[in-house]
Amino acid sequence: MKLTFPFRAALAGLALAASAACSETAAQTQPAAQPTSEVDAKIAELFAEGPTQPRERPDFSNETVLKLNPIVGRAKAALDRYDELTPQLAAAREGGDKTRISEITAEFARLKAETDAANTAFQAEKKALLGRGEYYNEVVLAAMEQFVAEAPAEIAEALTQSGQ
């Protein structure tokens, strides 16, 4: 599944914000948008406005946050650079600039290596987290993991296409 830039940015932002704010609680509830379907209405009921309840515990320990956030940040930085280069590659192809196509393809290969390294680091930290047996927010961890795991595949797809 290829993630679009806005979705990737939102997913990374969610993962980083949720883990960075792991020990904080919201001071007030934001007003809910009007539901657009019956399912949305039921979901909105679950999150009806009212006083917030303090969390029993943070999503992650501070130690884990300090390890996971930079890994997700590296993957996001690589994907942001990929997003910057994609239109440049299209322009180089349109103009027949083989030198620039080669430069961008080499940059894509470097970005792929960076995202592969981030994915490897994330998997190692996840394994260590599970080994420590500490509490963690499964939803936030899964979102972070999906983001980091899909980054290399997206760049690899661009590498395959640029070779054609």
In the chain, % of residues over pLDDT 90: 50
- Measured at the alpha carbon of residue 103, what is the angle toward residues 87 and 8, in degrees to the nearest 5? 40
- The mean pLDDT of 74-79, rounded to a whole number, is 96
Q: Which residue intervals of the chain are DSSP H helices?
A: 5-20, 38-46, 62-95, 98-132, 138-162
**How large is the average pLDDT for residues 36-57?**
62
Kindly indicate the confidence band of residue 93, based on its pLDDT and cuts at 50, 70 and 90.
very high
Which pLDDT does position 34 carry in this prediction? 55
* Tens digits of residue pLDDT in 132-143: 988 888 999 999
Average pLDDT of span 36-44: 64
Please report, for residues 39, 74, 151, the alpha-carbon distance to residue 120 in angstroms, rounded to integers and kept in the order given.
37, 12, 12
Residues 6+ apart with CB under 8 A from 81: 107, 111
pLDDT band at 45 (very low <50, low <70, confident <90, very high): low
* Predicted local confidence at residue 61, as pLDDT: 85
The yes-or-no verdict on residue 25 having pLDDT over 60 is: no
pLDDT value, residue 53: 61
Residue 35 pLDDT greater than 60, yes or no? no
